[in-house]
Amino acid sequence: MANATQPTDADPRAFCEAVAHPGRRADALRLLDLFAQTTGFAARMWGPSLVGFGRYRYTYATGRTGDWLATGFSPRRANMVVYIMPGYADFGEILARLGPHRLGKSCLYLGRLAQIEEAVLAELIRAGLDELATHWPVEPS
């Protein structure tokens, strides 16, 4: 069974420039650059609303396999959502320095980037990629 969300040929910059809310749009454009600088990967759209950087192929013990973005973000209506795989279990010290946020399993919910320490976010993105690479090979998407 494949993931419903797959990489597309849509332009990530055009997607970010089309975000309706001006503040969220500016934050999305800033994250586009921050992720590219931090990861060294080009942005790629995954489905209609996820901006991904890199990818990994996983195989679970059940035999299920799939491809997924290695890291990325989505400018949602209520929050900016940052995706760090496989999660935040070992990143408490970094998160303590980040600024206001909420956590999901592999999602970090941010308000305005102006309230976040961008250098710490870059550190978290890099740490997430490094951790992911200990489980699955990470490659450009």
pLDDT over 90 percentage in the chain: 76
Phi, psi of 85 (to 5 degrees): -105, 145
Confidence at 90, pLDDT banded by 50, 70, 90: confident
Q: What pTM, to 2 d.p., does this model score?
A: 0.92
The pLDDT of residue 32: 98
Q: Where are the domains of the chain?
A: 12-139
Q: What angle do CA 79, 74, 43 make, to 5 degrees?
A: 150
Q: What CATH number belongs to 12-139?
A: 3.90.1150
The pLDDT of residue 109: 96
